[in-house]
Amino acid sequence: VDNRAAAEGGRHVRIAIIGTGFAGVGAAIRLRQTGYSDFVVFERAEDVGGVWRDNTYPGCACDVESHLYAFSFVPNPGWSRTHARQPEILAYLRDCAARFGVLPHVAFGHDVEDARYDESSHRWRLRTNRGIWTADIVVVGTGVLNEPAMPDLPGLETFSGVVFHSSRWDHRTELSGKHVVVIGNGASAVQFVPEIAPLVAALTIIQRSAAWVLPHRDRAITDRHMQVCARLPWVASVWRQWLYLRRELLVPVIRHALGGWALERVALRYLAQVVRDPDLRTRLTPTFRMGCKRILVSSRYLQTLPQRHVRVVTGPVREVRGQRVVTTDGVEHAADVLILATGFATTDLPIARRIHGRIGRTLRETWAGRPQAFQGTTVHGFPNLFLLLGPNTYLAHSSVLLMLERQIDLLLAALRYFEQHSVTAMEPRAETQADYVRRVDAASARTAWTAGGCMSWYLDDTGRNAVLWPGAVRGFRRATRFRPADYAFTRDSGTGAEPR
């Protein structure tokens, strides 16, 4: 226990990680593998898993192939499906945390309420609900898709039925024979709607706009395939590489109007095959470019909608009145249960209000509605802070773990540099960060992601893409080399000195 931290009633560690989703667990494993042991991982919940612990709705699964949606340094030959379901992914993450000795480092039930950088000691002071800690380096792995976005529905508080968000599924509520209204038709809704439709008496799906849906290739993995992957790891690795390359090819397709147009034809043909009723088909035909919102994959969602007891309504909700949900056309929809599949607050992250940098301003104040970071990872004015899956690191076409692993490499490279050059503090230069963000913005301009004619969770308050990396993973790897010249350093001997 460090004396200074102890004086404040807390402990000091070299590195504090926040969160135990893929980001926090992945960083902790790599730190352990590199020989670090002086670190703590704060997790506000009582289990590891992040979104895979919290999302337990029926049908919850990844929509990228599991062999790609896993750490490259912990391959899992045992995936039972090409796209594993939530319990299997959660079990994988728990196993990773246990097997690689991460669990003893985790402080469960510790909510980081405030983190402040102290320039005189070059340390972060973290206030958790269970006490004060200090750390030289803070790694933020608090995720982007875990703060439910609650719609502002007039009268919601008067709703006399049961209401819950899809990411906080209420398993005590019996859906059989009930009138269920679902608000939203995004990636979660397309997974649970086909699961609950057979149970309920009536199902109304209220969508703001129709979504692009492509058929899903999910299938069970044969025992033989599993055995081959287990016995011959290089086969699994070639398989992963093939999945990676196939997804990389999607980038030029989505980026360019012609490729997007061709994919739209595939989706429209699929819709026409599945939905015969022209009126319903019109309601399910998107009015924006494919890729503008996350492309949904399901071979069961569209098939569910033409059933007699299922209704699809377009238009925002005007109000909730008693046990009815009223849409703007004045139509009232009876509801025993209201499921909010309204996604997550992605650009106004709670953690950004809690982190105070060099001059005391929070990340949120610094960003002023436009989250940005150098290499998606470090922020000028916030020394020794590493954001995992920070601004512009999510992917629309592939596994975000590929991006995450690159960021962890960046963290490890920085740590190595710290040790070799007696560095105590490091932050990106303002102009380097600004230049990087300019290049990201230029790459986002005129793509389906920013100019596709829709409002999506990729965009911040100003309409800037703050979430997605606007290109292939390969490009991110090129853009995220650790180059000391990009940073300002403080060394042990004093302040402001910059090693060459």
Instruction: Summarize as ranges the residues that interact with ligand FAD (CB under 6 A).
Output: 18-24, 42-45, 50-51, 55, 60, 62-64, 69, 111-112, 141-143, 145-146, 188, 351, 389, 399-400
Q: Minimal distance in Å, beta carbon 168 to ligand FAD?
A: 12
Q: Minimal distance in Å, beta carbon 166 to ligand FAD?
A: 8
Token pair for 258: 């012609």
Nearer residue to ligand FAD within complex by CB, 179 or 406 = 406
Q: Say how far residue 429 (Cα) sits from the centre of its chain.
A: 27
Nearer residue to ligand FAD within complex by CB, 400 or 414 = 400
Nearer residue to ligand FAD within complex by CB, 107 or 423 = 107
Q: Minimal distance in Å, beta carbon 252 to ligand FAD?
A: 19
Buried b (16+ CB within 10 A) or exposed e, 133-169: bbbbbbbbbbbbbbbbbeeebeebeebebbbbbbbeb
Q: Is 49 left (phi over 0), alpha (psi -120 to 50) or beta?
A: left
Q: Minimal distance in Å, beta carbon 99 to ligand FAD?
A: 18
The dihedral sign for the CA sequence 97, 98, 104, 110: positive
Q: What is the DSSP string of 186-218?
A: STTHHHHHHHHTTT-SEEEEEESS---EE----
Nearer residue to ligand FAD within complex by CB, 146 or 372 = 146
Q: Minimal distance in Å, beta carbon 392 to ligand FAD?
A: 14
Listed in sequence order, the residues at least 6 apart from 198 whose beta carbon sits closer than 8 Å to its beta carbon are none
Q: Rounded to whole angstroms, how far apart are CA atoms 270 and 280? A: 14
Q: Minimal distance in Å, beta carbon 22 to ligand FAD?
A: 4
φ/ψ of 273, rounded to 5, equals -65, -40
Cβ–Cβ under 8 Å, residues 363 and 352: yes
Q: Minimal distance in Å, beta carbon 382 to ligand FAD?
A: 16
Nearer residue to ligand FAD within complex by CB, 16 or 290 = 16
Nearer residue to ligand FAD within complex by CB, 134 or 424 = 134
Instruction: Please give the DSSP secondary-structure letter assigned to residue 276.
Output: -
Q: Minimal distance in Å, beta carbon 409 to ligand FAD?
A: 16
Nearer residue to ligand FAD within complex by CB, 146 or 362 = 146
Listed in sequence order, the residues at least 6 apart from 148 whose beta carbon sits closer than 8 Å to its beta carbon are 165, 167, 168, 340, 342, 343, 344, 345
Nearer residue to ligand FAD within complex by CB, 47 or 332 = 47
Q: Among residues 189, 147, 209, 500, which one has the least CA distance to residue 346? A: 147
Q: Minimal distance in Å, beta carbon 287 to ligand FAD?
A: 25
Q: Rounded to whole angstroms, how far apart are CA atoms 170 and 167? A: 9
Token pair for 463: 């309409």
Tell me the one-letter amino acid at 418: F
Nearer residue to ligand FAD within complex by CB, 178 or 397 = 397
Nearer residue to ligand FAD within complex by CB, 143 or 161 = 143
Listed in sequence order, the residues at least 6 apart from 281 whose beta carbon sits closer than 8 Å to its beta carbon are 271, 272, 275
Q: Minimal distance in Å, beta carbon 475 to ligand FAD?
A: 17
Q: Among residues 356, 408, 377, 384, which one has the least CA distance to residue 490? A: 384
Instruction: Please give the DSSP secondary-structure letter assigned to residue 66.
Output: T
- Residue 236 burial (CB < 10 Å; 0-12/13-18/19+)? buried
Residue 179 Cα distances to 87, 135, 196, 264, 329, angstroms: 28, 51, 11, 33, 20
Nearer residue to ligand FAD within complex by CB, 289 or 294 = 294
Q: Minimal distance in Å, beta carbon 154 to ligand FAD?
A: 27
